[in-house]
């Protein structure tokens, strides 16, 4: 089976969040199922620069006003197709934002072009000698692909649209419609018209053969007004097409027994060796060395991630005898609040702003617990890394956090299956209570060690989830 996967980011070439991790890791996990994936991504400068050996395999005479080339390249086992169209993608800045942090004004065109290119690769002879059996697209940036396919020559090919975060919908004014090269009937309820605007994700959700999201709980939640962000009605009408499949992690890149970013390697039987990583963490964040637990946070600093709630409990963590280390960047007010806490509690709270992949590994290896107070969380990856590294997750009970962490309630503790702490409601008081529970468990070394061990033994690899994607794909192809 051949799959064309289409995405606006892919690890390790370009990443702003979990989407890139999924798109980068799933292809390898599908290989044992006889599934070969080619991944189409835009030719951002970072992508073109990092791919040394590229070969031209096709092109478009005119894609949104300019010629475009399709390049093929391999990287770490990924079979990539790169849409090279400098007018759209050769920019200073990130994949979506200019260097001042603003959306590029032509994002609708940049990602419509990616979607149209994908549809034509699927249906026309753009890449000679290669055709997918199915097209799998991710988030709003590629959600027009099934719409273009519907009106193009691949209208019978099955499509899967995965929602990584329904908060990002790709909604643009109706004035962009004439530029999208779609027939007039596409600007309707059945396709991309969305409250008088153009909705990329909305159009994809209407048109894709199957819809997935990244955890079973989030699949349920997005059917409700609280989490559906306006799309709950549409999703309810397509609920038989909707499933939730939890993400796995890159188990080679995130392995405490071999991780090059940590000071001392360890495994489930040797968690005592985490002490050296803890020491390194204390030094890195300027913490005074004491016996209490070290909590860590690795996150975008946003309201979604509940970082305002974290800011409200910093004093409590210190008062209870704990430490906190934070790595993140984002909202300036939240960053300010956390930096203020760090300067109020020098030696007890440390903060590094920015994005630092190696440090994020050391934090999972050296801290005792990771706090994830998200208001909504489609899947979440940091709790999965936490499980694998014996960094016990304290999580809001929402979305993928619900599905991947077993709360340390009485029953789970006595059955010895607990792997973390869940809390609801997602408020500062809710979080405070969970942190108190963690302190209590931490004060009983046996209980804590068992939880760590249980987490480290959990299967957070892609194996099970890849099996689910494989059976979804086969089911769609069998229906023909």
- Residues annotated as binding site for ADP-alpha-D-glucose? 15
Q: Which stretch binds ligand ADP (CB under 6 A): 83-91, 222-230, 332-340, 353-361?
A: 353-361
Figure out which of the listed residues 17, 86, 152, 216 binds ligand ADP, where binding follows CB under 6 A: 17
300 binds ligand ADP (CB under 6 A): yes
Interior/surface letters 181-200, b for 16+ CB within 10 angstroms, e for the rest: ebeeebbeeebbbbeebbbb
* Residue with nearest beta carbon to ligand ADP: 18
Binding-site residues, in ranges, read 15
* Min dist. Cβ of residue 399 to ligand ADP (A): 10
**Both tokens assigned to 444:** 């009983």
Place of tokens 């396919």: 149
CB-nearer residue toward ligand ADP: 81 or 466:
466
Give Cα separations from 261 to 17, 281, 356 (angstroms). Answer: 20, 12, 11
Figure out which of the listed residues 273, 303, 355, 427 binds ligand ADP, where binding follows CB under 6 A: 355
Q: Quick check: 443 and 291 in contact, CB under 8 A? A: no
Q: Which of 114, 122, 108 is nearest to 138 (CA)?
A: 114
357 binds ligand ADP (CB under 6 A): yes
Figure out which of the listed residues 95, 306, 328, 430 binds ligand ADP, where binding follows CB under 6 A: 328
Figure out which of the listed residues 121, 235, 327, 334 binds ligand ADP, where binding follows CB under 6 A: 327
3-state secondary structure of 353: strand
- Compute the radius of gyration of the chain from its Cα atoms: 23
Figure out which of the listed residues 142, 145, 213, 299 binds ligand ADP, where binding follows CB under 6 A: 299
**Both tokens assigned to 238:** 């397509």
**Both tokens assigned to 458:** 């959990």
* Min dist. Cβ of residue 142 to ligand ADP (A): 16
What strand order describes the sheet that includes 392-396? 349-353, 323-330, 294-301, 369-372, 392-396, 421-423
* N-term to C-term CA, the chain: 13
Figure out which of the listed residues 169, 212, 360, 454 binds ligand ADP, where binding follows CB under 6 A: 360
298 binds ligand ADP (CB under 6 A): yes
Figure out which of the listed residues 133, 197, 316, 356 binds ligand ADP, where binding follows CB under 6 A: 356
**Both tokens assigned to 24:** 């980068």
Q: Which stretch binds ligand ADP (CB under 6 A): 17-25, 105-113, 199-207, 230-238?
A: 17-25
HEC profile of 398-461: CHHHHHHCCECCHHHHHCCCCCEEEECCCCHHHHHHHHHHHHHHHCCHHHHHHHHHHHHHCCCC
Site for ligand ADP in 438-477 (CB under 6 A): none
* Min dist. Cβ of residue 350 to ligand ADP (A): 14
Q: Which of 210, 194, 276, 271 is nearest to 243 (CA)?
A: 210
Provide CB contacts within 8 A for 331, sequence distance 6+: 301, 302, 303, 307
207 binds ligand ADP (CB under 6 A): no
Figure out which of the listed residues 5, 18, 307, 450 binds ligand ADP, where binding follows CB under 6 A: 18
Q: Which stretch binds ligand ADP (CB under 6 A): 69-77, 271-279, 311-319, 379-387?
A: 379-387
Give phi and psi for 467, each to the nearest 5: -60, -40
212 binds ligand ADP (CB under 6 A): no
What are the helix (H) ranges across 100-258?
A: 107-123, 139-142, 145-150, 200-207, 216-221, 225-228, 232-237
Figure out which of the listed residues 141, 382, 398, 404 binds ligand ADP, where binding follows CB under 6 A: 382
Q: Which stretch binds ligand ADP (CB under 6 A): 50-58, 90-98, 373-381, 464-472?
A: 373-381
CB-nearer residue toward ligand ADP: 69 or 304:
304
- Total interface residues for ligand ADP by CB under 6 A: 17
Distance CA 373, CA 297 (A): 10
177 binds ligand ADP (CB under 6 A): no
Site for ligand ADP in 19-38 (CB under 6 A): 21
Figure out which of the listed residues 329, 427, 453, 474 binds ligand ADP, where binding follows CB under 6 A: 329
CB-nearer residue toward ligand ADP: 58 or 328:
328
Instruction: Give me the residues that bind ligand ADP (CB under 6 A), please.
Output: 17-18, 21, 298-300, 327-329, 355-357, 360, 379-382
């Amino acid at each position: 089976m051949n799959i064309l996967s289409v995405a606006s980011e892919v690890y390790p070439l370009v990443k702003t969040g979990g989407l890139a991790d999924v798109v980068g890791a799933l292809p390898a996990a599908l290989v044992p199922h006889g599934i070969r994936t080619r991944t189409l991504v835009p030719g951002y400068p970072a992508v073109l620069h990092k791919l040394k050996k590229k070969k031209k395999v096709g092109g478009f005479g005119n894609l949104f006003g300019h010629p475009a080339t399709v390049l093929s390249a391999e990287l770490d086992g990924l079979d990539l197709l790169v849409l090279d169209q400098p007018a759209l993608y050769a920019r200073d800045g990130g994949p979506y934002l200019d260097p001042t942090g603003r959306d590029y004004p032509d994002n609708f065109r940049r990602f419509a072009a990616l979607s149209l290119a994908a549809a034509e690769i699927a249906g026309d002879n753009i890449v000679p000698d290669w055709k997918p059996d199915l097209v799998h697209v991710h988030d709003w940036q590629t959600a027009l692909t099934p719409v273009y396919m519907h009106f193009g020559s691949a209208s019978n090919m099955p499509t899967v649209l995965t929602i990584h975060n329904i908060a990002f919908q790709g909604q643009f004014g109706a004035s962009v419609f004439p530029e999208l090269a779609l027939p007039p009937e596409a600007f309707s309820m059945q396709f991309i018209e969305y409250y008088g605007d153009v909705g990329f994700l909305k159009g994809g959700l209407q048109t894709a053969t199957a819809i997935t999201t990244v955890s079973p709980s989030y699949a349920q939640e997005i059917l409700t007004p609280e989490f559906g962000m306006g799309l709950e009605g549409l999703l309810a009408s397509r609920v038989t097409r909707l499933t939730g499949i939890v993400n796995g992690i890159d188990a080679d890149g995130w392995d405490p027994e071999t991780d090059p970013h940590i000071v001392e390697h360890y495994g489930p039987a040797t968690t005592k060796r985490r002490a050296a990583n803890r020491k390194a963490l204390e030094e890195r964040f300027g913490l005074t060395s004491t016996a209490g637990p070290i909590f860590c946070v690795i996150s975008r600093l946003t309201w979604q991630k509940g970082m305002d709630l974290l800011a409200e409990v910093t004093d409590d963590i210190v008062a209870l005898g704990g430490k906190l280390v934070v790595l993140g960047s984002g909202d300036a007010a939240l960053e300010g609040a956390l930096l203020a806490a760090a300067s109020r509690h020098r030696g007890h709270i440390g903060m590094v702003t920015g994005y630092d992949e190696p440090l994020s590994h050391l934090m999972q290896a050296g801290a005792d617990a990771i706090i994830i107070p998200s208001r909504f969380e489609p899947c979440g990856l940091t709790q999965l890394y936490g499980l694998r590294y014996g960094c016990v997750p304290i999580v809001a009970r929402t979305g993928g956090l619900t599905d991947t962490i077993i709360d340390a309630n009485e029953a789970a503790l006595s059955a010895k299956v607990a792997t973390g702490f869940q809390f609801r409601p997602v408020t500062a008081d809710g979080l405070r209570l969970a942190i108190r529970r963690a302190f209590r468990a931490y004060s009983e070394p046996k209980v804590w060690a068992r939880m760590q061990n249980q987490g480290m033994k959990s299967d957070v690899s892609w194996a099970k989830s890849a099996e689910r994607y494989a059976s979804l794909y086969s089911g769609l192809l069998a229906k023909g």
